[in-house]
Amino acid sequence: MLRGAVRVVALDRAVDLDQGDYLRIPRERHSLEALSDCAVLLTVATRGERVP
């Protein structure tokens, strides 16, 4: 989180994040809800797997 606050929900678990926090996003279907005005940095990385 760069600024503000968000809530990440996946399966039956919710995690609130504030400025400076980070979270490994789960592979399961998930949602992101802004709890205040915010700026989120999303970084995507793979393990070198190729997508056909």
pLDDT of residue 52: 65
Residues 6+ apart with CB under 8 A from 18: 1, 4, 5
Q: What is the pTM of this model?
A: 0.77
The structural domains of the chain, with segments of one domain joined by +, span 1-43
- Write down the residue that tokens 């070198």 correspond to: 48
| Contacts for 34 with CB less than 8 Å, ≥ 6 apart | 4, 5, 6
Q: Sign (positive/negative) of CA torsion 6, 9, 12, 17?
A: negative
Distance of CA 10 to the CA centre of its chain: 10
Residues 2-52 pLDDT 10s: 999 999 999 989 999 999 999 988 888 999 999 999 999 988 877 776 666
